[in-house]
């Protein structure tokens, strides 16, 4: 690529620059700042779940995974995607907790129920993160009475139940009795806001949330923490690309809002390292670094060059990033995904498929794959 670069003439660069500028201004016209996109991400999900269910782990260096592969770790020398046996050499005291996907899935279903209250069409990316469109919720929320924005501290959880032991962590429905203070400021996010009340509903402690997006997102994170005893971080921005970057900004247990103005977006992009953008991985980063591009302002400055060196889809992608553009509407879930979220088991789903295939055969329309549409019927 550097050889190719050396052969590019001034003239080529100039004509490329004209094309790039024309494209940039046409993209600029299509910029949509009207949406409120939120990216939510649970903090160190697997490790946090295991620590919640086994508080003795809290004081020990721990990781989740196996001797072959670690998924999450809090340890300073030990990182996710590191083989466990190497981690053990670096940190002999490391406790490696085996993964328990069924449990993470169960917790995931709990948080998704909350997501659905803010955006029924939210898009899960994995068990612990999702994109939500808060635009409609925030608009409706303006007319909501305070009572609809009031949520209780789930103190009952702390008072009842018995101490979990390491052996019963598989019993998902069991009440836990220990508070999971995984992060210093975990439970002190906002003890008494102006207007918040100490009591409601038979003396239970409550918190009242405002009508802004920030307050709505804070409320959602509060509800997640009360329901699961786990914390989440969130990013609020006018599109998905930016929201994802923002959710990382105040992690753990925090949120960051990028205001919906062109100026705020372009300022934000200037100092953003290219590697932070979803879709730019190890290899792309290296290639860009070789062209002296490390952050997104360089990306914009070198766009003419990039348009000559990379494929069309690649440099169009870079172009979008350098202007702070991204998807402003979250793709609707496919019908069969909605069905899965209704907690249907695989057996139930395959039974439905069979039934549909029979039906389709009857109709002589086998190729329609009707099972996809079954949830509605």
Partner DNA sequence: GCGGATCAC
Partner DNA sequence: TATGGTGATCCGC
Residues 6+ apart with CB under 8 A from 138: 36, 211, 212, 213, 216
By CB under 7 A, what part of segment 69-98 binds DNA? 69, 71, 81-83, 85-86, 88
Question: Which positions from 128 to 147 touch DNA by CB under 7 A, shown as an x/- string?
Answer: xx------------------
Contact status: 314 vs DNA (CB under 7 A): yes
Nearest to residue 235, comparing CAs of 220, 225, 224? 220
Closest distance of CB 361 from DNA, Å = 24
CB 64 within 8 A of CB 46: yes
Contact status: 17 vs DNA (CB under 7 A): no
Contact status: 290 vs DNA (CB under 7 A): no
What single DSSP character describes residue 76?
S
CB 221 within 8 A of CB 38: no
Contact status: 278 vs DNA (CB under 7 A): yes
Which is the catalytic residue, given 50, 129, 207, 225?
129
- Determine the Cα angle at 34 with ends 33 and 39, to 5°: 80
* Part in contact with DNA (CB under 7 A); list of ranges 102-110, 177-185, 311-319, 346-354: 311-319
Contact status: 361 vs DNA (CB under 7 A): no
Determine the size of the site formed for DNA (CB under 7 A): 28
Task: Compute φ and ψ for 274, nearest 5 degrees.
Answer: -55, -30
Contact status: 102 vs DNA (CB under 7 A): no
* Part in contact with DNA (CB under 7 A); list of ranges 66-74, 112-120, 146-154, 297-305: 66-74
Structure token digits, residue 312 = 């069309």
Question: Which positions from 326 to 355 touch DNA by CB under 7 A, shown as an x/- string?
Answer: ------------------------------
Closest distance of CB 205 from DNA, Å = 33
Please state whether beta strands 95-97 and 129-133 pair in parallel, antiparallel, or not at all (unpaired).
Answer: unpaired
Taking the C-alpha atoms of residue 11 and residue 180, their distance in angstroms, rounded to an integer, is: 62
Contact status: 67 vs DNA (CB under 7 A): yes
* Part in contact with DNA (CB under 7 A); list of ranges 49-57, 123-131, 223-231, 357-365: 123-131
The three-state secondary structure class of 262 is helix
Please state whether beta strands 255-257 and 70-73 pair in parallel, antiparallel, or not at all (unpaired).
Answer: unpaired
Taking the C-alpha atoms of residue 320 and residue 241, their distance in angstroms, rounded to an integer, is: 10
Q: Which CB sits closer to DNA, 44 or 138?
A: 44
Contact status: 279 vs DNA (CB under 7 A): yes
Contact status: 187 vs DNA (CB under 7 A): no
Question: Which positions from 239 to 268 touch DNA by CB under 7 A, shown as an x/- string?
Answer: -----x------------------------
Contact status: 280 vs DNA (CB under 7 A): yes
Nearest to residue 256, comparing CAs of 276, 240, 234? 234
Q: Please report which helix (H) or strand (E) contains residue 194, including its range.
A: none
How many beta carbons lie within 10 A of that of residue 127, not counting itself?
19
Residue 129 falls in the annotated catalytic set: yes
**Contact with DNA (CB under 7 A) among 311, 342, 343, 377:** 311
Taking the C-alpha atoms of residue 48 and residue 30, their distance in angstroms, rounded to an integer, is: 41
Closest distance of CB 156 from DNA, Å = 31
Contact status: 111 vs DNA (CB under 7 A): no
Residues 6+ apart with CB under 8 A from 310: 318
SS3 content of the chain, % helix, strand, coil (to 5): 50, 10, 40
Instruction: Name the residues that contact DNA, by CB under 7 A.
Output: 67-69, 71, 81-83, 85-86, 88, 125-126, 128-129, 244, 277-285, 311-314
Residues known to be catalytic: 129
């Amino acid at each position: 690529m550097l050889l190719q670069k050396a052969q590019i003439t001034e003239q080529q660069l100039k004509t490329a620059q004209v094309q790039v500028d024309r494209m940039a201004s046409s993209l600029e016209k299509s910029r949509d700042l009207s949406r409120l996109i939120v990216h939510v991400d649970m903090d160190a999900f697997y490790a946090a779940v295991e620590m919640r269910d086994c508080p003795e782990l809290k004081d020990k260096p721990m990781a989740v995974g196996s001797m072959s592969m670690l998924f999450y770790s809090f340890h300073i020398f030990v990182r996710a995607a590191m083989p466990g046996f190497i981690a053990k050499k670096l940190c002999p005291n490391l406790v490696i907790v085996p993964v328990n996907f069924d449990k993470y899935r169960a917790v995931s279903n709990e948080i998704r129920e909350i997501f659905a209250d803010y955006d029924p069409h939210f898009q899960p990316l994995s068990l612990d993160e999702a994109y939500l469109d808060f635009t409609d919720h925030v608009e409706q929320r303006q007319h909501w009475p305070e009572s609809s924005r009031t949520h209780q501290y789930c103190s009952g959880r702390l008072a009842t139940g018995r101490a979990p032991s390491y052996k019963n962590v598989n019993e998902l429905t069991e009440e836990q009795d220990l508070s999971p203070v995984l992060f210093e400021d975990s439970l002190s996010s906002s003890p008494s806001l102006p207007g918040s009340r100490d009591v409601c509903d038979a003396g239970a402690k409550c918190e009242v949330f405002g009508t802004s997006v920030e307050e709505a997102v804070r409320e959602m994170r509060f509800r997640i923490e009360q329901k699961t005893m786990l914390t989440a971080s969130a990013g609020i921005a006018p599109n998905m690309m930016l929201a994802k970057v923002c959710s990382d900004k105040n992690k753990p247990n925090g949120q960051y809002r990028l205001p919906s103005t062109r100026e705020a977006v372009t300022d934000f992009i200037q100092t953003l390292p290219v590697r932070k953008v979803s879709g730019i991985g190890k290899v792309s980063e290296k290639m860009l670094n070789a062209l002296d591009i490390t952050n997104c302002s360089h990306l914009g400055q070198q766009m003419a060059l990039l348009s000559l060196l990379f494929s069309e889809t690649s440099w169009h992608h870079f172009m979008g990033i350098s202007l702070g553009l991204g998807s402003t509407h979250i793709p609707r879930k496919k019908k069969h995904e909605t069905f899965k979220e209704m907690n249907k088991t695989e057996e139930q789903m395959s039974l439905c498929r069979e039934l549909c295939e029979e039906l389709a055969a009857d109709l002589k329309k086998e190729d329609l794959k009707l099972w996809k549409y079954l949830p509605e019927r």
